[in-house]
């Protein structure tokens, strides 16, 4: 059993703020911060109170988490009394200690001023033009703020596994594993100042707190669950040869996929329906295969070939290493732009889905990776968000083979001259990037115009090098 206490971070000068989600007020540690550090252009109509007045902790503006108990257990069992077969299993709880990971959310706010204006047209006249780009500095309803739930707790993860291992002889072992992970109370962002979707046109007064534009509150509630079956065949280094091959089938479902490493968690599109976000995590492929090899080539002195030949000085002593990675595609989400069908001032988002969208593998090309006609922009003034889920389009898979050949020439004790030749993406396979997903760009959507560089999947790269080791 393990227990941790992770104290909320504090600012040395207390120049931070938080949001009171019940009253739409901004909260700062003390009155001196209000008197000395609030930006003079910040709208005076937005209320700012001290932590004491709002009932918040004085300096961190959020409470500490004392409930970080983490039990763990593991076992290993030889069921048949011999050394050939082992059954292993384990279970554990692990906390995601925030420390200062989400602390940056508490900077900015009343100490700086960034205003956002959304254009509108009345009587064929736009409210904003290039000659008049602002509606008025310091006006209410144009400022976005973010904050942390004052009762925010550390997320926790449960992990478990069940493994069967078998010694096949000749230094080769086989492992079959089931692995599971469940994350609970993950942090995500939600705009608590957005009005409910409606057929009524958007109006600032429909917001819960009309003096502010968007209030992105980071709170607990997100979930993730992962199941995987893994098979692995491995040969330990023996007689100049070592190799490993592993295949994994996995399913990773989450309702707050942190695409792009968004700080403080994903901001969901519909603040009233987090379950709509539940889908396959984008960067967890359904299947993945990986293999590695290191081979001391049987050429040269004491080896099978050219053992006594003078040529062994040059041709002997080389080692070959290689790897191969193959995986299925990412889970992608189509989008649309430029309109607000939900009348919540949410411009763009996830479209309607009226078909499968995925083409048979023999019909996918870089000019038409998926069926664009399976998606549509939600009707104007429909008062709702799109019907499509996330991760419904499967992107291109990847295959990467890499290899290296190297040799060390002894010069004297502990001094070696090493030469090597290595290649990544040895066969120069084109590993395509994801297709364009914005259905509002009809000349581009569904096309692929780039390759990806992830997992060493870029164009073939060769290196010839030499170095002296001592």
Helix, strand, or coil (residue 448) = coil
pLDDT at 139: 59
pLDDT at 141: 83
- Does residue 240 form part of some domain? no
Helix, strand, or coil (residue 69) = strand
Q: Are residues 316 and 261 in the same domain?
A: no
Least confident segment among 126-130, 193-197, 261-265, 367-371: 261-265
Q: Are residues 174 and 261 in the same domain?
A: yes
Strand partners, 267: 189
- Does residue 92 form part of some domain? yes
- Does residue 247 form part of some domain? no
Task: State CA 468 to chain mean position distance.
Answer: 40
pLDDT at 261: 46
Q: Are residues 293 and 381 in the same domain?
A: yes
Q: Are residues 326 and 186 in the same domain?
A: no
Handedness of CA 262, 267, 269, 274 (dihedral sign): positive
- Does residue 244 form part of some domain? no
Q: Which two tokens stand for residue 111?
A: 């100490």
pLDDT at 128: 78
| Average pLDDT of span 376-383 | 97
Q: What does the DSSP 8-state code read for residue 213?
A: S
- Does residue 246 form part of some domain? no
Q: Are residues 307 and 173 in the same domain?
A: no
- Return phi, psi of residue 165, to 5°: -120, 140
CA distance 432 to 397: 8
| Average pLDDT of span 384-393 | 97
Q: Which two tokens stand for residue 5?
A: 């206490």
Q: Is the pLDDT higher at 247 or at 81?
A: 247
pLDDT at 137: 56
**Residue 72 · residue 2 · CB < 8 Å:** yes
CA distance 31 to 14: 11
Q: Are residues 345 and 270 in the same domain?
A: no
User: Which structural domain, as residue segments, surrounds residue 196?
Assistant: 1-223+256-277
Q: Are residues 306 and 432 in the same domain?
A: yes
Residues 6+ positions from 376 with CB-CB distance below 8 Å: 351, 352, 354, 439
- Does residue 232 form part of some domain? no
| Average pLDDT of span 271-286 | 96
Q: Are residues 199 and 319 in the same domain?
A: no
**Residue 416 · residue 469 · CB < 8 Å:** yes
Least confident segment among 48-52, 294-298, 353-357, 371-375: 294-298
The C-alpha angle 98, 101, 102, rounded to 5 degrees, equals 95
Total structural domains within the chain: 2
Q: Are residues 57 and 199 in the same domain?
A: yes
User: Measuring CA to CA, which residue among 75, 77, 264 is closest to residue 155?
Assistant: 264
Asked if residue 314 has pLDDT above 90, the reply is: no
**Residue 339 · residue 347 · CB < 8 Å:** yes
Asked if residue 260 has pLDDT above 60, the reply is: no
CA distance 294 to 242: 5
Q: Are residues 186 and 300 in the same domain?
A: no
* Secondary structure element (H or E) that encloses residue 247, with its range: strand 241-254
Burial class (CB in 10 A: 0-12, 13-18, 19+), 306: middle
Q: Are residues 297 and 392 in the same domain?
A: yes
Burial class (CB in 10 A: 0-12, 13-18, 19+), 218: buried
Identify the band that residue 357 occupies on the pLDDT scale cut at 50, 70 and 90: very high
Identify the band that residue 263 occupies on the pLDDT scale cut at 50, 70 and 90: low
As a residue count, the chain comes to 470
Asked if residue 138 has pLDDT above 70, the reply is: no
Q: Are residues 270 and 294 in the same domain?
A: no
pLDDT at 206: 95
Q: Is the pLDDT higher at 223 or at 257?
A: 223
- Does residue 31 form part of some domain? yes
pLDDT at 264: 60
- Does residue 168 form part of some domain? yes
% of the chain beyond a pLDDT of 70: 97
| Average pLDDT of span 116-124 | 80
Handedness of CA 191, 194, 199, 203 (dihedral sign): negative
Q: What is the mean pLDDT of the chain?
A: 92
What does the DSSP assignment read for 149-203?
A: -TT---EEEEEEEEEEEEEEETTEEEEEEEEEEEEEEEEEEEETTPPPP-SSPP-
**Residue 18 · residue 109 · CB < 8 Å:** no
| Average pLDDT of span 423-432 | 96
Asked if residue 88 has pLDDT above 70, the reply is: yes
pLDDT at 20: 97
């Amino acid at each position: 059993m393990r227990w941790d206490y992770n104290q909320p971070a504090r600012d040395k000068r207390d120049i931070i703020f938080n949001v009171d989600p019940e009253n739409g007020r901004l909260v700062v540690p003390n009155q001196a911060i209000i008197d000395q550090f609030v930006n003079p252009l910040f709208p005076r109509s937005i209320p700012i109170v001290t932590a004491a007045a709002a009932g918040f902790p004085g300096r961190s503006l959020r409470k500490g988490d004392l409930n970080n108990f983490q039990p763990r257990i593991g076992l290993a069992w030889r069921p048949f009394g011999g050394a050939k077969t082992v059954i292993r299993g384990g279970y554990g709880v692990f906390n995601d200690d925030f420390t200062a990971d989400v602390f940056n959310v508490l900077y900015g706010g009343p100490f700086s001023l960034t205003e956002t204006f959304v254009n509108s047209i009345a009587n064929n006249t736009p409210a904003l033009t290039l000659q008049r780009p602002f509606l008025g500095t310091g006006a209410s309803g144009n400022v976005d703020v973010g904050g942390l739930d004052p009762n925010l707790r550390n997320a926790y993860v449960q992990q478990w596994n069940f493994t069967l291992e078998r010694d096949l002889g000749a230094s080769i072992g086989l492992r079959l594993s089931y692995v599971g992970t469940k994350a609970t109370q993950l942090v995500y962002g939600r705009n608590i100042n957005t009005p409910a979707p409606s057929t009524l046109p958007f109006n600032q007064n429909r917001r819960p707190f009309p003096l502010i534009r968007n209030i992105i509150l980071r709170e607990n509630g997100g979930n993730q669950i992962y199941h995987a079956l893994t098979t692995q065949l491995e040969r330990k280094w023996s007689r100049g040869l070592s190799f490993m091959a592993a295949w994994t089938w996995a399913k990773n479902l989450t309702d707050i996929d942190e695409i792009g490493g968004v700080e403080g968690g994903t901001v969901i599109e519909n603040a009233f329906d987090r379950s709509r976000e539940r889908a396959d995590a984008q960067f967890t492929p359904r299947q993945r295969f990986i293999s590695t090899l290191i081979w001391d080539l049987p050429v040269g002195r004491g080896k099978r070939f050219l053992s006594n030949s003078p040529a062994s000085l040059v041709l002997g002593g080389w080692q070959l290493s290689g790897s191969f990675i193959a995986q299925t595609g990412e889970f992608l989400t189509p989008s649309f732009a430029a309109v607000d069908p939900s009348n919540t001032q949410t411009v763009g988002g996830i479209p309607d889905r009226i078909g499968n969208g995925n083409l048979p593998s023999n019909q996918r090309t870089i000019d038409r990776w998926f069926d664009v006609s399976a998606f549509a922009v939600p009707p104007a003034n429909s008062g709702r968000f799109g019907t499509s889920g996330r991760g419904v389009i499967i992107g291109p898979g990847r295959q990467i083979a890499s290899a290296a050949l190297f040799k060390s020439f002894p010069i004297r004790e502990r001094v070696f001259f090493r030469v090597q030749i290595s290649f990544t993406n040895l066969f120069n396979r084109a590993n395509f990037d994801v297709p364009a997903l914005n259905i509002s760009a009809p000349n581009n959507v569904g096309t692929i115009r780039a390759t990806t560089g992830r997992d060493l999947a870029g164009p073939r790269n060769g290196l010839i090098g030499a170095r002296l080791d001592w």
